[in-house]
Amino acid sequence: MSVFGDPGTGDAGPQRPIALLNQDTSKFSEISEFGGHNQSVRWNGIITPSWFVEASFSRAQNDFVEAPAADVWSFVDNAVPVNQPQAISGGIGFFEDFDNENLQYQVKSTYLFHGGGEHQIKGGFIFEDISFDTVTERSGPPITLADGQQTITGAQVNIIPDPTFGQIFRVVRANLSNVNDTTQDYLSLFVQDQWRVGNRLTVIGGLRWDRQKLEGLFEDFTWDENFAPRIGGTVDLLGDGRVKVSGNFGRYYAKIPNDIAVRSLGADAGVTRADYFDAALTQPIPDGIEAGNQTVHLQFAGLEPAQFDPDMNGASFDEGVVGVEYEALPGLNLGVRYIGRRLNDVVEDIGFSPLSAFLLGSASVEFLVTNPSADSPVDPGLDASHVDPVRDYDAVEVTADKRFGDNWRLQTSYRWGKLEGNYEGFFRNDNGQSDPGITSLFDFPPIDPAFLTLAEDAGISVRGNPRFLGEVGPLPNDRRHQFKAFGSYVFPFGLNLGGGVIASSGVPLTPLASNPVFGNDSEIPEVPRGSGFQTVDGFKERTETAYTIDFHTDYAFRLPTGQRITAILDIFNLFDIDRVIAYDPRTELGPGEPGLENPDFGAAGSDGNQTLAAIQEPFQARIGVRFEF
């Protein structure tokens, strides 16, 4: 049995990096609760000399409660001189309180018998009962919309320059509902046989079945045909254990987090545009008036649960691995292996209408959660279409491992890999969107030949081209070269010295423009993926190669009573290497403001809020003491 917990609180302060850009402390907040509680119970039993049973139960619970220092609206002022940073003021804007609990039950049985060789049959199940309850908040008081409705949260507001009115005030985010309680039942059954034939061949075959049921506030959906075969084998070529050739193939299904139940099976009703003449948000701009480059001044999203394709398959990929391992010297193993991964189906929400239909005013915001493909439905008349999602990964890895002996050990690896496609997965790494199963990658059919012509005819300046979203190219996590080495040496008198080196080549860079219809920034590439852009360090197609060197030492003091006290020192980034690992890819500001130049485009940073690291972690040291008894 084990029990662990790390509950905590956070004093009022700049919980978000953007808070430091404010002129005052109104973007500070207090974390009144955060952290988790974990308990687990395990039982292992030997029923007979050839039959073993393992059973366990575990519970994990965590919560997060935040309170803004100032309950006022969040403002981003874009009515500033050209090439000047946005002026940021007001409250924190979006924040969220949540409570998450996962109850996991697991039973596994192993049976040994002889029949044409030695068999080790395993079978069992894992059942997870997950709940995720969340309350979405935005700082500030509720606002009254042009149609008389009142929001349930505050608002995030952009100040936009306008040639007629000087400036207008655009609410780009506010909520009409904000409470979502969701559950998930996830059941996995598996069976496998490890069959050893003679002294040289071992074969493993198995089958796994997964069922996932997600339940939101209004709807539920179940994936229950997730059959995943696995097969693999190892051959001892010389029969002496020194040269082994192995190969494995398996299908793997993804467990989709409850976020899709919150946003697509419940009510994520919100405002994506509400324009006002005044900063107090009391004078709505009527539809039909040209202001802020728009004539429609009130727009909603998520008023109803999304449609779910009843024939949709679960998200899965296939992986194949082949390799050879050779014991060159006693304790020293050399290896090489190939890894390949290919997508089968993905789960995503798709839009029926291309961007060009929105420019014509003939589209509505309708989405379907399905397995997107080139055959996915699209509104007729504009010759638009979706594409097949692609994410191909190929890698070759060379390893050298020296297990501990003669007082030292060493583990090293070099991997060449290539990750290409048009679909990143549950996390959209290029713009930081974390909405598993409902990212913006398939919101609009990327094959949209009329888009640029219609935008030009409408006098709308657009920089992005949706077809680049559908084209295959290097994905944001594509790192062609990775090297790792870890080693240690123990002196006869007990001092242990160790160190590690990690080096990775840079990731591809792609300039991202705003969505000209919905206004979200960093949505649409301007050029093919990985074409690069001008940074503060010159034109680059990839970020720099990043590397770090770490150090470790420990020494144990033995007490007369038999216990030991071990002093530990860890140093990370020993030489304080400060390579840039991300550049701001946004060519335009947002959300809500396509056409406004981003003065920080190409600067060190991942986005305007600096929500992801721009520079390697600096030199850090950790001192510890361990008591053993």
Residue 453: pLDDT above 50? yes
152, 176 contact by CB (below 8 A): yes
- At 610 the pLDDT is 45
Average pLDDT over residues 204-220: 96
Q: What rounded mean pLDDT belongs to the chain?
A: 92
Question: pLDDT grade, residue 614 (50/70/90)?
Answer: confident
State residue 608's pLDDT score. 47
Q: What is the pLDDT of residue 595?
A: 72
Comparing 598 with 504, the larger pLDDT belongs to 504
pLDDT band at 621 (very low <50, low <70, confident <90, very high): very high
* Averaged pLDDT, 504-508: 96
Q: What is the mean pLDDT of residues 209-231?
A: 96
- β pairing state of 538-540 and 533-535: antiparallel
Give pLDDT tens digits for 482-492.
999 999 999 99
CA distance 111 to 576: 53
pLDDT at position 611: 47
Q: String of b and e for 503-527 (b: at least 16 CB within 10 Å)?
A: ebbbbbbbbbbbbbbbbbbbbbbbe
Which whole-number Å values give the CA distances from 130 to 7, 222, 258, in the listed order? 20, 14, 9
183, 264, 182, 300: which is closest to 437 by C-alpha? Answer: 264
What per-residue confidence (pLDDT) applies to 609? 44
Beta bridge partners of 399: 335, 413
Could you give the CA distance from residue 384 to residue 357 in angstroms, rounded to a whole number? 10
- The tens digit of pLDDT for each residue in 271-327 reads 989 999 999 999 999 999 999 878 889 988 878 888 999 999 999 999 999 999 999
Task: Please report the pLDDT score of residue 607 as a whole number.
Answer: 55
Q: Using alpha carbons, select from 101, 107, 103, 102 the residue that is nearest to residue 56.
A: 107
* 339-364 confidence digits (pLDDT tens): 999 999 999 999 999 999 888 876 66
More confident residue, 417 or 218: 417
For residue range 124-144, list pLDDT tens digits in order: 999 999 999 999 999 999 999
Q: Which pTM was predicted?
A: 0.89
* Residue 199 or 607, more confident: 199
Task: Dig out the tokens for 135 from the structure.
Answer: 């309350």
What are the sequence ranges of the domains in the chain? 1-6+19-69+99-134+182-256, 71-93+139-177+267-304
More confident residue, 220 or 82: 220
% of the chain surpassing 70 pLDDT: 97
State pLDDT tens for residues 583-613: 999 998 776 566 778 888 999 876 544 445 6
Element (H, E) at 168: strand 166-175
**What pLDDT shows up at residue 568?**
97
Average pLDDT over residues 257-268: 89
CA 99 to centroid of chain Cα atoms: 20
pLDDT score recorded for residue 339: 98
> How confident is the model at residue 83, as a pLDDT?
63
Of 169-178, 246-255, 328-337, 428-437, the least confident? 428-437
